[in-house]
Amino acid sequence: MSFENWDEIRTAYQVARVGTVSGAAEVLGVHHATVIRHVDALEERLGTRLFQRHPRGYTPTEAGLQLLAVGQATEDQFSQLAARIAGAGAEISGELIITSLPTMSGLVVPALARLMIEHPALKLRYLTDQRVFRLEYGEAHVAIRAGARPTEPDNVVQPLGTNHMALYASADYLDRMGRPAGIGDLDGHRFIGADTRESRAPFYRWLAETQPAEAVVFRANEPESTEAAIHSGIGLGFLPVLQAQNDPRLIEVIAPIPEWDSAIWLVTHVDLHRTPKVQAALAALKGVAQECGALAAEGGGA
C-alpha cells in the first residue's frame, strides 16, 4: 500500500517512540493538534488502531509496534545515508577541474602536482583556454582569471596576485636588430602582437597606443604561437615573467612596468567554495603563488 502523505507516518512513528502527543509535537516542531490529526488520518487510511489512548499518553497496539520497528529501521537507514553523504563531501577525492589562461600553467601545474601528492585520491583535469569557463554550469571547480575582477553574482572571487609581463627577444633577433637601450628606444623594432587590435590585455593596448601599426609584423591568437615566434627571431614579444624566466633562449629586453601588469583572480562557485577538495586546491595555488617571485602574491580571504 502506498501513502501519499509521509508526514502522517513520521508523526505516528514519533508518537510510538515518545509515547505522548505533546512529546511527538515537540520533536516534530508542530502543534499537538497536528499530531492528533495525522495519527487519526493514518489509522483511518490503514483501517486499524495504531494506539490505545489513555490519560498518560498513547500506547502502541501490535500494529503500532510494527510501525515503530519499520520507522526505527527507516530512521537508521537515513542516518547512515547522511553519514555517507557527509563523508563523501569531506573526503578529498574524485574529479577536480581547474581552468586558467594557458600562460598561467607555470603557476598552476606545480600547484596541482603538490595537490596530487597530498591527496592521491584526486583525479585532476587542467583546462587552458582563452574563453571564460562557466562555473555555474559545472565546467570547472576552480578558475584562475586575469584582468578586471570577475563580477558573476554566484561566484566567490579572491585575489591571487599580479601577473607581470615583460618584453622578450631571441639572441638572433638582437644580433640582427640591436638591443634597445630602454622603453624609449624601440623605433625601428618589429613586434609580435595579438591577433586582434582590440585586445583588452593591458600590454597589447600599450603596444597599439605607442607603436606604429606597421611595426607589428606578426600576430598570434595563442601564447604558444607568440613564444614560438619570439624563439624564431621574428620580433619582440610579450610573455609573463612566470612563463619566460626559466627559458634560457628568451632574453628580457624591457623589464615589467606597472602599465603591463594584470591582476590574477581565484574564482569558485559559491555552492562548491567550502568543499574540502576546492579548499585544498585554493590552498595549493596560494602556496605556490606565495613562493613564486614572478607573481606578486596578495592576501585574500577564504
Residue 137 shares a structural domain with residue 270: yes
Residues 191 and 206 in one domain: yes
Instruction: Please check whether residues 152 and 77 belong to one and the same domain.
Output: no
Contact 297, 286 (CB under 8 A): yes
Instruction: Note the pLDDT tens digit of each residue in 116-154.
Output: 999 999 999 999 877 787 887 778 899 999 888 988 888
Shared-domain flag, residues 57 and 206? no
Q: 102: how many CB neighbours lie within 10 A of its CB?
A: 14
Same domain, 158 and 275: yes
Cell 507516518 belongs to residue: 9
What are 250-264's pLDDT values in tens digits? 999 999 999 999 889
pLDDT reading at 279 higher than 90: yes
Kindly state whether residues 68 and 199 are assigned to the same domain. no
Say if CB 166 and CB 254 are below 8 A apart: yes
Assess if residue 124 is contained within a domain. Answer: yes
Among candidate residues 85, 102, 130, the one where a domain is terminated? 85
> Across the beta sheet with 295-297, what order do the strands follow?
122-128, 94-100, 142-146, 262-269, 155-163, 295-297
68 and 201 in a single domain? The answer is no
**pLDDT (mean) for 2-26:** 83
Domain that holds residue 205: 165-260
- 273 and 157 within one domain: yes
Residue 294 has pLDDT above 70, yes or no: no
Radius of gyration of the chain (CA): 32
Query: Within this chain, do residues 60 and 115 fall inside the same structural domain, yes or no?
Result: no
Within this chain, do residues 145 and 272 fall inside the same structural domain, yes or no? Answer: yes
Q: Is the pLDDT of residue 293 over 70?
A: no
From 67, 85, 103, the end of a domain falls on 85
Q: What is the mean pLDDT of residues 284-301?
A: 67
What whole-number distance in Å separates Cα of residue 46 and Cα of residue 40? 10
Same domain? 273 vs 152: yes
**pTM for the full model?**
0.61
The number of domains in the chain is 3
| 161 strand-pairing partners | 264, 297
In a domain, 1, yes or no: no
Task: Say whether both 240 and 169 belong to one domain.
Answer: yes
| Residue 86, pLDDT score | 59
pLDDT digits (tens, 9 = 90+) for 12-23: 989 998 899 999
The reply to whether 199 falls in a domain is yes
Kindly write down the DSSP assignment for every residue of the chain, as one continuous string: ---S-HHHHHHHHHHHHHSSHHHHHHHHTS-HHHHHHHHHHHHHHHTS--EEEETTEEEE-HHHHHHHHHHHHHHHHHHHHHHHHHHHHHS--EEEEEEE-GGGHHHHHHHHHHHHHH-TTEEEEEEE-SSPP-GGGTS-SEEEEESSPP--TTEEEEEEEEE-EEEEE-HHHHHHH---SSTT--TT--EEEESSTT---HHHHHHHHHS-GGGEEEEESSHHHHHHHHHTTS-BEEEEHHHHTT-TT-EEEE---GGG-EEEEEEEETTTTTSHHHHHHHHHHHHHHHH-TTEEE-----
Q: Residue 65: give its domain's CATH number.
A: 1.10.10.10
CATH classification at residue 98:
3.40.190.10
- Last residue within a domain, chosen from 61, 85, 109: 85
